[in-house]
Amino acid sequence: MLEQLKTFPDNVLAVEVIDGFTEADEKLCEKMFAEKRTSGADQVNVLVKLDQMKVPASSTKAFFEDMLWVLRNYKHLGHLAIVAHSRVLKALVPVDNLFFERASTGRHERYFDITQMEEAIAFVNAGPP
């Protein structure tokens, strides 16, 4: 289930995945992102909280559709904050940064522990306009 954490007036989108990530959640995320773009944001800074996500309850199809959508819309993605309590995700974020380094001028992806939520919000608020 996807839930909006907080409503930001500008180009920031903050969501939390609770339990599993489904195809309906993926479509909702696309819709929220599109609304930010329609309201005038060239790039949208995104905070994704994953500490309550249960991988077995998630849809593989939704995950791959989401990855494809991100690749197609990458130029409109600003700063990305991943908030979780996971060694695996903490290790994957630097790999993502290396992979997308050439295409990421002015954008950054950072991992934040769940105890660093305020820092994560500040990070996405300070991202590209």
Strand runs (DSSP E) across 1-129, as ranges? 2-6, 12-19, 44-53, 77-84, 109-113
Cβ(17)–Cβ(2) below 8 Å: yes
Residue 6's SS3 state is strand
Mean pLDDT of 88-102: 78
Q: How confident is the model at residue 103 (pLDDT cuts 50, 70, 90)?
A: low
Q: What is the pTM of this model?
A: 0.87
* Domains of the chain, CATH where assigned: 2-125 (3.30.750)
Predicted confidence (pLDDT) per residue in 52-82, tens digit: 777 667 778 887 888 788 888 888 989 999 9
Residues in the chain: 129
